[in-house]
Amino acid sequence: MKGIKKLIALFVIAVTIITTSYFTKEPRAAAADTSNDDWLHCVGNTIYDKNGNEVWLTGANWFGFNCSENVFHGAWYDIKGILTGIADRGIGFLRVPISTELLYSWMSGKPNKVSSVTAANNPPYYVCNPDFYDPSTNGVKNSMEIFDIIMGYCKELGIKVMVDVHSPDANNSGHNYPLWYGLTTNTAGEITTDKWISTLVWLTNKYKNDDTILAIDLKNEPHGQRGYTAAPPANMAKWDNSTDENNWKYAASRCASSILAANPNLLIMIEGVEQYPKTELGYTYQTPEIWGASGPQAPYYGAWWGGNLRGVKDYPIDLGALNSQIVYSPHDYGPSVYNQSWFNKNFTTQTLLDDYWYDSWAYINDQNIAPLFIGEWGGFMDGGNNQKWMTLLRDYIVDNRINHTFWCINPNSGDTGGLLSYDWSTWDEAKYALLKPALWQSGGKFIGLDHQIPLGSNGISLGQYYRN
């Protein structure tokens, strides 16, 4: 992608006092489901629960643990209150971006500190995140402690979670880095492929007896372009059958195998790359770009970062019996992020399928190869082409029952905005109304992924839905 995607504003607010008058709704108390029976698996293009019942993963992204603050953005307000609103509005699956640097600090037993967190120590006068308060230091708990508390909130509210490795380093613009390895970080040293894998295996073991975390997205948006050099660039994520370190298909297979050895019940989300060679014409990643070539003459198919899954056709991930845990996960955006060529017409669902969607990722669902999970989609409600694209993709998601998480909860995503306003309390009702039909629901009730705990105050549990 030629534009800078997701210009996340560095939104650091020092808040010391939030009064009870700001937040008027307390989350309901609920006994946590500790049965550890909510794991999922795949058959063909469909995801099922342990009883063989079809499920639909629908939700949204909330970033911050991937950033320099090492915690959800918005933690200067009431995190449990925000999560309660999320659950009540039917967002049952939360994609949580994180950095390998932060995971390494947890694995090493020296969790990195958080910033921009309000942790009150004198309720009932102040109710903002009292669980984050550390009486031993009269300050804020560390990043791992806060993450664990938040996972506990999600369990109470019937929300399930997917952890997404968004970048090697803790960086508010870390999504711009194309690979899963190769960066030197402030606290974890150089992130290598082995270090990336080991941190995810560690996280898997930590939560293998807690099905709050149902899935891991191995790496956000691997990308990079071939360029005109004779030798392929080393910093380009590619998808082929080699064992080169920058071969995303090979790295993802290694990482998935290691994670599933620790917990064979997790879903593994595998994104695509940016460019894929026109293999039907004999091109490979050894082929340089051709100056001035475009359209049919160009040797590569382009895509959004992480959005190109054409390689699955030629080189599918093959984990044997554990292919039951593999889900392919493209990202897709509209013209407000970057005006791609397929938007340069009066586009329709059919033109989007013909020009981009089908051969880039939709064929995987259509041909029953594996489930799809659109990990990011969203944007501004501009009353124009971007909103038109959002509506068309939303309808395609619903009609084809494609799993997804909307980007994003946060208001401070520079090129999409969020579902929440900057007070982290007021919802963008027009944007939510666009998303709502793509949230799993029946008979006026949202359907959660926990067999026992209903999703928020307006939902039911998976067990209630299937009556088992």
Name the active-site residue from 69, 271, 274, 376.
Answer: 376
Instruction: Return d(Cα 305, Cα 407) in angstroms, integer.
Output: 15
Backbone angles phi, psi at 203, to 5 degrees: -60, -40
| Tokens standing for residue 7 | 């210009």
Q: How many residues does the chain have?
A: 468
Amino acid type, 160: K
Q: How many Å apart are CA 28 and CA 457, to the nearest integer?
A: 8
d(CA 195, CA 169): 12
Q: Could you give the CA distance from residue 80 to residue 60 in angstroms, rounded to a whole number?
A: 16
> At which residue do the structure tokens 């959005």 appear?
307
Q: Is 156 a catalytic residue?
A: no
Decide if 245 is catalytic.
Answer: no
**Cβ pair 69, 10 in contact under 8 A:** no
How big is the CA angle at 266 (ends 262 and 270), to the nearest 5 degrees?
A: 105
> What distance in Å separates the CA atoms of residue 334 and residue 377, rounded to the nearest whole number?
8
| Catalytic-labelled residue, pool 69, 221, 271, 274 | 221
Give the Cα separation of 282 and 299 in Å (integer): 9
Give bridge partners of residue 8 from the DSSP assignment: 413
User: Are the C-beta atoms of 256 and 263 separated by less than 8 Å?
Assistant: no
Mind telling me the catalytic residues? Answer: 221, 376
